[in-house]
Structure 1
Amino acid sequence: MVSDSDLIARLHEFLRNSDLTTTSTATVRRKLEEDFGVDLTDKKVFIREQVDLFLQSEQERLAEIEQDGEEDDRTGEVQTQQSDVDDDDDDDQEEVVEETRNGKRKKRSNKLSNEVKKRGGGFTKLCGLSPQLQEFVGASEMARTESTPKEKHQKQEKEEDPDEPKKKEKRQKGGKSGFLAPLQLSDALVKFFGTGESALSRADVVKRMWEYIKQNNLQDPSDKRRIICDGKLKELFDVDSFHGFTVSKLLTVHFIKTEQ
Structure 2
Amino acid sequence: MAPWSEDNSVYGGRDLQPGCKTGTWLAISTKYKKIGVLLNLPGVKKENAISRGSIVADYVTNDLNLLDYVECIKEDANKYNDFVFVSVELGSSSAEVKTYSNANDEIIHWTNTYLGFGNSLPDKPLNKVQNGEKLLRDTCKKFNKIDNKFELLNELVKLLKNEQRYLPDPQLENRQPNIYKELSSIFVKIPVIKYGTRAHTIILVTKSGHVDLIEISMKSPIDVENTQWERNEFHFNI
TM-score normalized by the length of structure 1? 0.24
Higher relative contact order (CA 8 A, sep 6+): 1
Q: Which has the higher helix share?
A: 1
**Which protein has the bigger strand share?**
2
